[in-house]
Every structure is written in structure tokens, then in C-alpha cells.
Amino acid sequence: MSSSVPSNGSVLIAPSNFYNVQQLTTRQKEAFVRAFQEADTNDAGLVAVSAIPNLVQQVLGSVSNHEMQEVQSRVDIRAHKGEVTFPDFMEIMTETMSSTTQWGQLKTPLSGTVGFDSLQTQITQKALKRGFEFNLMVVGESGMGKSTLVNTLFKAKVSRPSCMQVTTPIPSTVDINAVSHVIEEKGVRLKLTITDTPGFGDQINNKDCWTPIVDYVNEQFELYLAEEVSINRKRFIPDSRIHCCLYFIQPSGHALKPLDIEFMRHLHDCVNIVPVIAKADTLTVEERDSFKHRIREDIKTHNIRIYPQGYDPEDEAEKALADAIDALIPFGVVGSDRAIKVGNKDVYGRQTRWGVIEVENRDHCEFSQLRDMLIKTHMQDLKEKTDKVHYENFRRQRLQQHHEQASKYTGESNI
Amino acid sequence: MSSSVPSNGSVLIAPSNFYNVQQLTTRQKEAFVRAFQEADTNDAGLVAVSAIPNLVQQVLGSVSNHEMQEVQSRVDIRAHKGEVTFPDFMEIMTETMSSTTQWGQLKTPLSGTVGFDSLQTQITQKALKRGFEFNLMVVGESGMGKSTLVNTLFKAKVSRPSCMQVTTPIPSTVDINAVSHVIEEKGVRLKLTITDTPGFGDQINNKDCWTPIVDYVNEQFELYLAEEVSINRKRFIPDSRIHCCLYFIQPSGHALKPLDIEFMRHLHDCVNIVPVIAKADTLTVEERDSFKHRIREDIKTHNIRIYPQGYDPEDEAEKALADAIDALIPFGVVGSDRAIKVGNKDVYGRQTRWGVIEVENRDHCEFSQLRDMLIKTHMQDLKEKTDKVHYENFRRQRLQQHHEQASKYTGESNI
């Protein structure tokens, strides 16, 4: 099925890494036979394609949407006039079983404590020893408080606002600056790389100003791919891929600007985009709500895919979380790395003549919700989506390209 | 440095995924400059190669042996007459810094709670959802209680002893049978595949009887590699690679047999071998001790590398654990999947005329220690060693081979 290590005499034939029907235990085999017999009501030795999803659910218990799609494609290969034979049915069930650990009634009962629940501790210990990495990119016109927000997010001076140096002119093209820091909390070390893009949107003509950013994101994929396919690759591939892009929208109160739309449309296929409304304190409650509503409409109209996307809708907990985030997007945020006394405690905030805007107060802005998502609940998911969705898309296209060129040269067409 | 996606017009040039000196913050740069100045006592703008490991330790704190070797190789490329220049020194430090999360004094201080310690929970939740996999192989002559031991280890009927069916003759060649089970404990699902090798060592002439086993282990690597390099690869590659091989030694009380030695020598480069003395209850305390001593000597003499190997000696905790295991190898074990009443509690054991051998009693045999290692402390490490050491070796050789053949055909020598 899957083609393999480049061919030349030593072609790999990889039938499948699934185990086959011969490897089933008596109990497993009997469960499948029973399911087949129940569905094959007229003893024709055939089962309707439409009955198979139910039979799978019945034997293996809850199967995710994604897995069910795979079942469907296994069925499609083997079906004939809307039915499958007994041997085909057994193969479908065995492959499905071997691709999941959700085995429902086929699980083998234990007669005592074994102790493999310690696997949880075993994996965290290994991860802790290695430390974590997270690569965040911030994009937006100058003066939107990008650096301040990032510093507030991580409670550390991880990004230096460019306006600090009054002498620094706005670059005449888009620059890309990456700076790394290691921060540690309760024994967890995190290498955080903040990539800034000064000059974005700051020109008179901002045509194509997303190109250097798209290129940069793809270059990181290219570096990762080059290491992944190299013969003597590193034990852990250094990961410079951008895991999340915070995109700053001006608090205009109107709608997305054409530049916002173009940027997101050009980037949404290669990076997880999280849009935020910068300096949300300049908007009244009503303005903010209607602006957010309008932005969500614009995003929908222009088919922009922002993070989170592609979560498993079968997973109740994940869906609830994703829905909660969806409702908040774009986060209206206020940043401040300065502590202000409110009552007798210090809070991060902005002192105005009419009061203090507390950054971490959920009634004042959505900074806390943004931080909870980015750091406390979805950081690992952002990394996994980058690796399993965006990077895989890049890799597939890149190898496909190479494959086509190669077969053009050799005149072969090895599929 | 690392060569890349096969070349053809669209060659990848991958200088490195490390960030460079320009990306350092002022604080990071100053720390390196200070370290250089302190070592460059006579202001020659040069630092002795021998001083570099100390400087690295000084700035970045504890650096593992493995990382120090990488530092050394970075130094070797750049050194001239035993010294390196300031720009080279900066590059060495920057690369070293970007390859680790151990940043010692260069860590960025936090001014409050951020919450990224939740990464631990985030990774375990993802792992729990997916479930775990573990592939265990058992090898040894028939009648050594292999199946019973495996069933006792996992407190479940995961392996059916072949002698149960009296009619089953010993196969005339080595067979390979894999059976999968899913077991669950405290919400942790584990797909356990037990690969048995009936017929091993049971012939009159056992010459080359390890060959089918070596082939099988390599075939699983081949399948994994084929999926890994395929264009449309699966999100999670099905893993049929053998993570651990339990090798059963007859309780002869003498020494390793030539077959034992040959088997281990042929397998130790592709799989984690854990030798056990089967049916250790047939040996007296003195016999067992001297037998174990003798086996350890034999293993040393014949340069057999058994698990654990290649752990990080810098890591005190890991070293202590590995030493404790080393001292116990080969584990003298007794299996029993039958419960026996001792006093008023049920224990797994073997009832003899002179008493009960309790399988899980640490004074009676080393079954508990074997289980602790295999399941409670080292299961993840066995998987990681398989992936990062044995599989990588296989992959390197396989691609090297392919590369040589390819350049033979094209007449090119692209290194």
C-alpha cells in the first residue's frame, strides 16, 4: 500500500504493519464471527457495507470520527455491490483493531495490579529531563503593543519593544528576528523562542509583505525536513518550526482590513493563527462586542481557518474547550508589564485618569483567557498540530514535487 | 552539514537549525564575552581548546556527557593549533546553547506564575487518549515456562502455553507468533503484543536458529521505515518493532550454552535483550548466585551488550537505577498464574511438598524486580532505546546502502 525507501533493486515491499487474521486469539476471532453472523441474517455469507460501522462500534466500543473514516476506506477497497464477504470482513476488523487501543469488549481482563499506569510518570520524567520548546511568532503593525503583550504573557522580559530605542527606524522591508529564552517554573524548563516581524504593515505599499513571513515559516519546515531525512540525524531534531502565530488586529472598531485578510489567507495553511485585538482598552464594551462579531463574520466569509481547527468532535472535553475558545476569538487584549497597586495588592495594569485596567481581570479584557489557552491548555496541542498537520502538509507537497521531478528525469512512473 | 531531501535542481541547503550569534540577547552575549575574556588571560584574542568545557559548564550549568561530546566536536571543527578565536568561540557557545534547555545562569527570571508547568498534564492527557503500545518478544527452548511468566507479569492470559495442546508438535523450524491484547489499568490503556518463537533451540541441530528471529526484528524496522518515508504517511506510525526480548536461560547451574551466546551476539545490535534464568526454583541459593555470577562473566567475555546499556552516567538517578538492575541480571524467575492460599491471603505461587514458592516474594525469586523494571520503571525507556538506538542504526545502514547503490548507478558521489 505505502510505497517506500527509494527503489533500485532493493525495493521495499511493505504490505502493512498491521497484524493479520492468523494472529487473532480465539476470543477475538469469535467476537468478529459473532458480529458477522448477527448481521448476515439470510446466511448468504455477505454483510451490507452500511452495517459495518455499527458492527465496529459494537465490538470495539467508541471509535473516533477519524478512525471511522479509515474503516470506511478499508471497506471501500473490498466492497462489491455494497457488500463484503466474510474473509474481507475479518480483514477489515483486524486492521481496525490493530490501529487503535480502543478495544471495548475485546479488552483482556486483569486479575490484579500490574503497574503500567506508571507509564504516565515515565513519560513526564523523560520530557522534564529534556525540557520543552515553544516557538511563538507575533505579527502586526508597529505600536500595537506586541512586545508588551508577550512579556505580560510569560511574565518575563522575553521581547524587547522596538520603540524602546528611539533611534531605531522602522525597517523599510519586513524583518524577521528570533530571540530565545529559557524560563523555568516548578521544575519545568521551557525554551521559548519569540519571532518578531518588524516592518509588517508599516509601509505605504504593503503588497506582498506577508511573503517574507510565509518564506520564513516554510524555511523552518525545510530545515526540519532536511534533518529528518538525513542519514545521520540528531536524536532529537532541533525544532524551529513556528507553533503559533499571534496576529494583532488594530482596534479600529470597523472590520478586518484587506491586509489582515490577505495575511491570514496566506498563512493559515502553514501555521496556527490566533488573532487578537490589540489595545482592546480603546474600545467600549459595545464597540468591542460588535467588532468581534464583525471580525468573526469576516473570517467566515473569507474562509480563513484560524486555530483551533481540526479537533476531534467526538471528544466531548476537547470539543467543549474548542467551543469555548471559538466563542472568544479574536481575544480582546491589553498588555502591561508594569505592576500597579490596586487596594493593597500589586496587579499588572494600565493606570488611566479614570481608573486602572487590570490585565488579568477577566472583566476588563480577555488576556487571561488568551494566556490560559496558549499556555495552560493548548500549548502541546499547538505543537502537535504544527507537527502533524502543517508540517505534514509541507512534507507531502515537497516530496510529491521531488517525486514528480525524479520520475520526469528517469522516465519512470513508480507509484 | 546535514545532507537532505534527494537532490535534483531543487537541492536543499540546510546550514543548521541552530540560531546564530546575531540572535543572542544582550545578556546572553555579555555572558559569553565575559567568559571569553576571563579565559583569554594574555589578551591574545584566543582561548585554549582545553578551557572550553569549563567555560560551557560555567555559563550553562550542568551539561551531560553526551552534550559535552557535541561541544567537543564543534570545537574540533574550528580549532587551530589548540586554540579558537573569539568569533568561533561565540559560535560554539551559541550552538551549544541552542541545542539544550539547560541554560544555568542564562535562564530568564520570571516575575510571577505563568502556568506552563501544566505541560506535564498536557502531554499525559494526549498520551492517555491515544493509549500506549508495548511489544515484547520471548525466546527460549520449550518447557521453560515462557508463557506462564508472561501471564504472571501482566496478570492476564496474554500468552497461551503451547504445551496446553498436547497434540501440538514442536515445529521443525523456528516459528514466529505475535498476539496482541489491550489491557487497561487506572484509565491507562496498553496494547501489548507478545511475540513467541516456538521451536527455538528445540532441534537436534540448532545452527542458525536465530536467523528467523533477526529477520523478524529487522522486518519490523523495515515496515516502520517504509511508513516513515512514505509521502502520505499515517499520523501515528503503527509500531510493531520489538521493544524488548526476554531471553530464557536454562537453570543448568553451569554456564551459558553456545546457543545462548550466539543468540545474544546476533540480536544485541537490534533489540534490547533482558536475560532471565527460567525456573530459578530448581536452584539452591548458592547455585543460583554462582550461576548468575558465571553468566555475567560469560556476557562480559563475549562482549554481549544486554539492556540497560547506553544510559546517561551523568544522571545520578538513572545511573543508580541502572546499577541496581545490572546487579540483578540475569533475573532468576519463577512464574505461576495460579493463586495459592498462604495464611489467609491469596498469592501467586507454586505449591511444593516442602513449601510454597511465592512468585512475588522478593526473598523467593527476582520476579518482582523483573516486573518493576519491565513495567514500572523502564517500559518507556525500552521503547525509547528501540526507537532512538536500534531503529536509528537500522535506518542509517539501510539508507547508507541505498545511497551507495544510487551513487554507483548515477556515477555521482554526493556526500
Q: Give percent of chain A with pLDDT exceeding 90.
A: 47
Kindly report, residue by residue over A25-51, the tens digit of the pLDDT. Answer: 888 999 999 999 988 888 888 999 999
Query: What pLDDT is stored for residue B216 in this prediction?
Result: 95
Kindly report, residue by residue over A261-290, the tens digit of the pLDDT. Answer: 999 999 999 999 999 999 888 888 889 889
Contact B108, A156 (CB under 8 A): yes
Q: Which residues of chain B does A195 touch, with a Cβ-Cβ cutoff of 8 Å?
A: none
Q: Chain B closest CA to A251's CA: distance in Å?
A: 26
Query: What pLDDT is stored for residue A398 in this prediction?
Result: 94
DSSP characters for A117-169?
GGHHHHHHHHHHHH-EEEEEEEE--TTS-HHHHHHHHHTS--S--GGGSTT-P
Which residue in the set B5, B123, B182 is minimally distant from A380, CB to CB?
B123
Higher pLDDT among residues A150 and A315, named by residue = A150
Query: What pLDDT is stored for residue A410 in this prediction?
Result: 65
**Cis amide linkage into residue A313, ω under 30° from 0:** no
Q: Chain B closest CA to A37's CA: distance in Å?
A: 23
Which residue in the set A123, A183, A388 is minimally distant from B235, CB to CB?
A388
- What cell was used for A324? 469555548
Query: What pLDDT is stored for residue B224 in this prediction?
Result: 95
Q: Which runs of E-coded beta strand occur in A224-381?
A: 244-249, 273-277, 331-332, 339-342, 345-352, 355-358
If you ran DSSP here, which 8-state letter would residue A264 be given? H
Residue range A168-176: mean pLDDT, rounded = 77
Read off the amino acid at residue B340.
I
Higher pLDDT among residues A343 and A154, named by residue = A154
Optimal mutation site among A116, A196, A378, A380, interface B, most CBs of chain B within 10 A:
A116
Read off the amino acid at residue A296.
R
Q: Name the strand (E) or helix (H) holding B275.
A: strand B273-277
Residue range A248-267: mean pLDDT, rounded = 93
CA distances from B223 to A230, B138, B229 (A): 19, 21, 10
Q: Which residues of chain A does B27 touch, with a Cβ-Cβ cutoff of 8 Å?
A: none
Q: Which residues of chain A does B120 touch, with a Cβ-Cβ cutoff of 8 Å?
A: 124, 127-128, 188
Query: What pLDDT is stored for residue B213 in this prediction?
Result: 96
Q: Chain A closest CA to B395's CA: distance in Å?
A: 8
Residue range A103-132: mean pLDDT, rounded = 91
CA B159-B163-B169 angle, to 5 degrees, is 120
Q: Residues near A74 by Cβ (< 8 Å), separated by ≥ 6?
A: A91, A92, A95, A96
Do the chains contact at A4 and B230, CB–CB below 8 Å?
A: yes
The pLDDT tens digits along chain B (415 residues) read: 343 444 333 333 334 666 788 888 888 999 999 999 988 888 888 999 999 999 998 888 878 777 888 899 999 999 999 999 999 999 999 989 888 888 888 899 888 889 999 999 999 999 998 899 999 999 999 888 899 999 999 988 888 765 555 556 677 788 888 899 999 999 999 999 999 999 898 888 888 889 999 999 999 999 999 999 999 998 889 899 999 999 999 998 889 999 999 999 999 999 999 999 998 888 888 898 899 999 999 999 999 999 987 666 667 777 777 888 888 889 998 878 778 888 888 888 887 777 788 888 878 888 999 999 999 999 999 999 999 999 999 999 999 998 888 777 665 544 4
Q: Which residues of chain B does A401 touch, with a Cβ-Cβ cutoff of 8 Å?
A: 10
Contact B348, B360 (CB under 8 A): yes
Do the chains contact at A2 and B222, CB–CB below 8 Å?
A: no
Query: Whose CA is closest to A234, among B124, B14, B309, B23?
Result: B14
| pLDDT exceeds 90 at position A118 | yes
Rg (CA), chain A: 26
Kindly report the average pLDDT of chain A as a whole number.
86
Do the chains contact at B155 and A110, CB–CB below 8 Å?
A: yes
Query: What pLDDT is stored for residue B404 in this prediction?
Result: 86
Query: What pLDDT is stored for residue A16 in this prediction?
Result: 61
Interhelix angle B86-98/B26-39, rounded to 10 degrees, is 130
Do the chains contact at B375 and A25, CB–CB below 8 Å?
A: no
Using pLDDT thresholds of 50, 70 and 90, give the confidence band for residue A411: low
> First CA to last CA across chain A, in angstroms?
10
What is the rounded CA–CA span in Å between residue B270 and residue B218?
8
Do the chains contact at B23 and A180, CB–CB below 8 Å?
A: yes
Paired strand residues for A331: A276
Whose cell is 516548578? That residue is A186
This prediction's pTM: 0.88
Contact A401, A393 (CB under 8 A): no
